[in-house]
Structure 1
Amino acid sequence: MPVSPATDLSDASTSHDEAAPQRRSRRKQARPGELLDAALTLFVEKGFAATRVEEVAALAGVSKGTLFLYFPSKEELFKAVVRETIAGRFTEWNEEFERFSGDSAELVRYCMHSWWERIGMTPASGITKLVMSEAGMFPEIATFYQQEVIEPGHDLIRRILQRGVDRGDFRPLPMEYAVYSLIAPMIFLLMWKHAMAPCCPTSAQIDPIGFIDAQVDLLLAGMQLPKPPRQNA
């Protein structure tokens, strides 16, 4: 039986009324992510001290009061940004380490390339420079970064290197310092990207992948055990 025009209008009105709360619910669920994206953009661009929560809220399209519903302070907002973009990824990185079946040289190369693709090429790459430059003024965020990023990062790299030693791929290494051999080139790239690269001419720019590959080759040359001479048949 045909539906009358009146019924059509009633159904459309009901459908619209039902859809509105759903849209509001989806919008509410999206707000924390939008606030974190806005905060990351401003923290990297302006630094922790210079970023105001009003600016973050405005960039995310909400009020300052709404921001404080999700994050009670600028410090808590910063911590959430770090957890979302870097610290929260250690679970996946550790799982990849456990599953990796290649040799130790391949693992080191994969580790450094993967880190650049997932952190170095993203806006989160600016967080390290922020922490290093503002640690003296805000020791609490430096302590948080130490606990949430540096310590688990050191632990993962130590396990990568120890795996190489245990498998006979690498010579015995002073682990407490050897971890920095992988970390230092990465920090250099981050500092270059966010400090010097914007000021340098094209001819002076560094190709990150080329730099990483050169560093890996140098590191492996220093870490790998020499292969025994081939016996003549």
Structure 2
Amino acid sequence: MGSSPSLPCRLRDAMTGAKRARRKEARPGELLQAALDLFVEKGFAATRSEDVAARAGVSKGTLFLYFGSKDELFKAVVTENLAGRFTEWNQEFESFEGSSPEMLRYALNTWWQRVGSTQVSGISKLMMSEGRNFPELSAFYHQSVVAPGNALVRRILERGIARGEFRAMDLDQAVHAVVAPLLFMILWKHAPEVCGGAAALDPARYLAAQADLLLHGMCTRQGLAADGGAAGS
């Protein structure tokens, strides 16, 4: 009869198997990160599936085990980094205890910290530049990111009106007025040469100025008194 494997061999095999299992579990995340990197660097059209696989250190066949197409991969990147976070962000809305002017300032600044200043904002820039060429992806992005984002801004404005802190306004257009400065910041981050240069804008000062402009236009006297920022001065 043959001898059974020695304990060190069994231990080594077990460790190898555990390492492979961890690697397999991590692989979708590694592929999503590689895809995000390349989509932001090169755009959607210029990014090839084999480039994503190579960046993640796997074969193209392995990539398609997890994501059936480049379109599916892009949708997964959007869901992982943007669309999948709206549950958390709406929960923050529900638990926020400050005034509505304070909430609007908080929303603008935390958006910059969590999205605008990060690589993820390159996805929004990509959709602005390439979305027309990929109508299905554009529709997906609008449904999963733009629409819920606008709805969250609208909730902030509605809260302020209901509490007497904001005056009555055309909410459809007011939402665009809030979002527009954020879109400009994305363009500034990813195309600074056409937005006055990388040193031409200080994000914190810019957002504070935009909040002041918005709030002086939206706030009632009660809202201005409740605002903890510069709009109350």
- What's the TM-score, normalizing by structure 2? 0.90
Instruction: Tell me, yes or no, if structure 1 residue 209 matches structure 2 residue 184.
Output: no
Q: 1:199 to 1:173 in 2, by over 3 A?
A: closer
Corresponding residue for residue 144 of structure 2 = 148
Corresponding residue for residue 6 of structure 1 = none
Instruction: Tell me, yes or no, if structure 1 residue 185 matches structure 2 residue 181.
Output: yes
- The number of aligned residues is 219
Residues in 2 aligned to 1:164 and 1:227: alpha-carbon distance in whole angstroms: 10
Per-residue Cα deviation, 1:42-100 (whole angstroms, up to 9, x for no partner): 00111000000110000000000000000000000000000001111100000000000
Unpaired segments ≥5 residues, structure 2: 224-233
Residues in 1 aligned to 2:43 and 2:203: alpha-carbon distance in whole angstroms: 24
**Which is further off, 180-189 or 219-228?**
219-228
Residues in 1 aligned to 2:202 and 2:138: alpha-carbon distance in whole angstroms: 29
Unpaired segments ≥5 residues, structure 1: 1-8, 229-233
Is the 2:83–2:145 contact (alpha carbons within 8 Å) kept by the matching residues of 1?
yes
Corresponding residue for residue 169 of structure 2 = 173
Instruction: Tell me, yes or no, if structure 1 residue 222 matches structure 2 residue 217.
Output: yes
Runs of 4+ aligned structure 1 residues displaced above 6 Å come to none
- Spell out the pairing of 1:61-72 with structure 2 (5 A cutoff): 61-72=57-68
Corresponding residue for residue 60 of structure 1 = 56
Corresponding residue for residue 121 of structure 1 = 117
Alpha-carbon distance, 1:195 to partner: 1.2
Alpha-carbon distance, 1:137 to partner: 1.1
Corresponding residue for residue 37 of structure 2 = 41
Equivalent position SS for 2:221:
coil
Corresponding residue for residue 77 of structure 1 = 73
Is the 1:197–1:205 contact (alpha carbons within 8 Å) kept by the matching residues of 2?
no
Corresponding residue for residue 229 of structure 2 = none
Q: 1:173 to 1:47 in 2, by over 3 A?
A: same
Corresponding residue for residue 26 of structure 1 = 22
Residues in 1 aligned to 2:119 and 2:63: alpha-carbon distance in whole angstroms: 21
Q: 1:197 to 1:112 in 2, by over 3 A?
A: farther
When Rg is computed on C-alpha atoms for both structures, the one with the higher figure is 1
Is the 1:40–1:124 contact (alpha carbons within 8 Å) kept by the matching residues of 2?
yes
Instruction: Tell me, yes or no, if structure 1 residue 100 matches structure 2 residue 96.
Output: yes
Corresponding residue for residue 230 of structure 2 = none
- What do you get for the CA RMSD once the two structures are aligned? 1.7
> What is the letter of the counterpart of residue 20 of structure 2?
R
Equivalent position SS for 2:191:
helix
